[in-house]
């Protein structure tokens, strides 16, 4: 593939990314419309496997399980989730956090809301460590010690895609002969979840992908592999420091300095700069050298 065709491919990829996520990440895994008749969530064989992104399996129309829900479950029953760990490590080793940029419906929701015109704010760098805490404490340690799913209790995507639809719809469960949500079931916890969701919805407008960068346990797991994954971003010098990559980046990364930073979701928006490209390599060093204009090579 010559250089011209290669840039055309990147342009095409950037254009199809958003509709691709909407179709493959949002619509397809949540298309169990039979629920409108049965009034019960899908519990067939597909739900024994999980999608490689955040997608609440309690959503009325969900076909598959959420990896973070599965992780919490296995922590709660104190068993090692071989399938899940193998699945996440394989995806991470191949693509890094690409699933966050190319499949996650909640990331897509954040991108769409951030398009609303308003004053924008940057997220302090130290808050990006929060997602590792979320993974270690809310998704693993607390479920292990308390046998409860703590991350699911606060997950804004779970609230938006499952909690709110069930409460708004509230059909009669045929097996119970009573409404799914009975009076009195909605207590302080539901109020807390709605409050967390409301805060995040506001943050989505004001900042770039705050949930992905500060709270998502799955993003934290994938982030561990960004520097060693086979899919890699590569910056060919000399970088003119035009800051184009920083301006378009949905997670505020300076791609020219650290193309495989843990927060990078591999959305490929930065390929708008002709110096940035994707490279597939199992031999690249963990921090491939980039050429900056301040280095002797870049002058």
Positions touching other proteins (CB under 8 A) are: 41, 43, 47-50, 56-58, 65, 69-70, 73-74, 77, 79, 81-87, 89-90, 93-94, 148-149, 152-153, 158-159, 162-163, 166-167, 181, 185-186, 189-190, 193, 228, 230, 282-286
Nearer to other proteins, 25 or 156 (CB): 156
Nearer to other proteins, 9 or 40 (CB): 40
Q: Where are the alpha helices (DSSP H) in 62-187?
A: 67-76, 82-95, 98-102, 105-114, 130-133, 142-146, 150-154, 156-158, 164-169
How near is the Cβ of 18 to other proteins at its closest, in Å?
27
Nearer to other proteins, 28 or 93 (CB): 93
What residues are paired with 235 via a beta bridge? 276
Token code pair at residue 277 = 């490209």
- Report the C-alpha gap between 225 and 22 in whole angstroms: 25
- Report the C-alpha gap between 211 and 276 in whole angstroms: 26
How near is the Cβ of 116 to other proteins at its closest, in Å?
26
How near is the Cβ of 178 to other proteins at its closest, in Å?
15
How near is the Cβ of 47 to other proteins at its closest, in Å?
6
Nearer to other proteins, 126 or 282 (CB): 282
The DSSP line for 220-258 is: HHHHTTTTT-SEEEEE-S------HHHHH-TT---TTT-
How near is the Cβ of 163 to other proteins at its closest, in Å?
4
């Amino acid at each position: 593939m010559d250089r011209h065709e290669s840039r055309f491919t990147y342009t095409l990829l950037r254009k199809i990314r958003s509709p691709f996520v909407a179709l493959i990440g949002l619509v397809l895994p949540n298309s169990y419309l039979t629920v409108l008749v049965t009034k019960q969530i899908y519990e067939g064989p597909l739900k024994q496997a999980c999608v490689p992104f955040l997608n609440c399996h309690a959503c009325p129309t969900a076909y598959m399980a959420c990896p973070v829900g599965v992780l919490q479950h296995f922590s709660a029953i104190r068993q090692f989730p071989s399938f899940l760990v193998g699945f996440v490590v394989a995806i991470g080793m191949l693509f890094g956090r690409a699933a966050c940029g190319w499949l996650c419906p909640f990331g897509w929701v954040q991108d769409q809301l951030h398009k609303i015109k308003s004053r924008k704010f940057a997220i302090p760098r130290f808050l990006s460590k929060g997602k590792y805490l979320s993974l270690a404490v809310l998704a693993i340690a607390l479920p292990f010690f308390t046998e409860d799913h703590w991350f699911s209790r606060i997950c804004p995507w779970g609230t938006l895609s499952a909690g709110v639809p069930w409460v708004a719809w509230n059909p009669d469960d045929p097996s119970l002969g009573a409404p799914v949500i009975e009076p009195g079931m909605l207590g302080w916890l539901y109020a807390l979840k709605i409050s967390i969701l409301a805060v995040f919805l506001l943050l989505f407008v004001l900042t770039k992908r705050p949930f992905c960068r500060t709270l998502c346990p799955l993003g934290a797991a994938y982030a561990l592999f960004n520097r060693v994954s086979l899919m890699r971003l590569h910056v060919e010098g000399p970088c003119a420091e035009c800051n184009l990559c920083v301006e378009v980046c949905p997670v505020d990364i300076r791609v020219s300095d650290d193309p495989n930073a843990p927060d990078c979701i591999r959305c490929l928006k930065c390929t708008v700069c002709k110096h940035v490209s994707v490279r597939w390599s199992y031999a690249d060093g963990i921090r491939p050298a980039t050429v900056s204009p301040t280095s002797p090579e870049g002058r």
